[in-house]
A and B are shown apart, each in its own frame.
Chain A
């Protein structure tokens, strides 16, 4: 019975990790790719670590697995947010099907602060024609 549970956790986790990899390859835009990897990859890895903990069934392994899962689930959103913010500052083009870009113009590029009014409309690409440089043909 326990073996089926371990196998189910490992299969579901590795399937989610594969979905994250395929999403990273197939999504048209950096931010869509990041939404695929940050969620599916973290959940899949957490499930696989939980399956391994059930397999060994020792107190020390459970402790390590829970510490790893808590650390992974608390640091993955932080890392993804920092990377998305840095990529937005770096001027990565958005997908051409993007219909909302609420941050457009609100970042002061010299001081890296967020302002209430539109401060720098000329420094950032316009939200309409933002995605001509990326591979969006597929």
Chain B
């Protein structure tokens, strides 16, 4: 009984993290702040898919996590590359 309700604490924690990252994404004073908040949102989404796969017993969501990890890394590296070569 306690166990059944504790599953939802996982999603409450994840929701608080998502909201904090979105607030930083909206008000970040510089461009790198927004980039790291997008990076953290993607990393949180990987964990969210893992928790969702456990909650609904769907092992296919683990594939989504792998794809998302690869795309997140490439996106952050591309952002950093063009940020470093930006002409102000």
Separation of A98 and B3 alpha carbons in the complex (Å): 45
- Cβ contact within 8 Å between B53 and A72: no
Q: Taking the nearest CB of chain A, how far is it from the CB of B69, in angstroms?
A: 6
The answer for the CA separation of A79 and B80 in the assembled complex, in Å, is: 8
**Chain A contact residue count (CB 8 A cutoff):** 57
Complex: how many Å from CA A60 to CA B88? 48
A72 touches B17 (CB 8 A): no
Q: Are B14 and A17 in contact (CB under 8 A)?
A: yes
| Chain B residues within 8 Å of chain A by Cβ, number | 51
Looking at A37, A56, A64, the one whose CB has the most chain B CB atoms below 10 A away is A37
Which residue from A19, A44, A58, A64 sits with its C-beta under 8 Å from B47?
A: A44
Are A14 and B54 in contact, with the CB atoms below 8 A?
no
| Interface: A124 (CB within 8 A) | no
- Cα distance A61–B23 when bound, in Å? 34
Residue of B32, B40, B86 near A24 (CB, 8 A) is B40
> Do A18 and B83 contact each other (CB < 8 Å), given the known contacts A7-B3, A68-B69?
no
Instruction: Name the distance in Å between A91's Cβ and chain B's nearest Cβ.
Output: 8
Q: A51-B54, A79-B39 are known contacts. Are A24 and B21 too (CB-CB below 8 A)?
A: yes
Given A65-B62, A79-B73, CB of A48 within 8 Å of CB of B51: yes
A33 x B17 contact (CB < 8 A): no
B73 shortest CB reach to chain A, Å? 4
Is B47 a contact partner of A34 (Cβ separation < 8 A)? no
Which residues in A have some Cβ–Cβ distance to B below 8 Å? Answer: 3-4, 6-7, 10-11, 13-15, 17-22, 24-25, 30, 33-34, 37, 41-42, 44-45, 48-49, 51-53, 55-56, 58, 60-61, 64-65, 67-68, 71-72, 75-76, 78-79, 82-83, 85-87, 89-90, 92, 112, 133-135
- Give chain B's interface residues, CB within 8 Å of chain A: 3, 6-7, 9-11, 13-14, 16-21, 23-24, 29-33, 35-37, 39-40, 43-44, 46-47, 50-51, 53-54, 59, 62-63, 65-66, 69-70, 73, 76-77, 79-81, 83-84, 86, 88
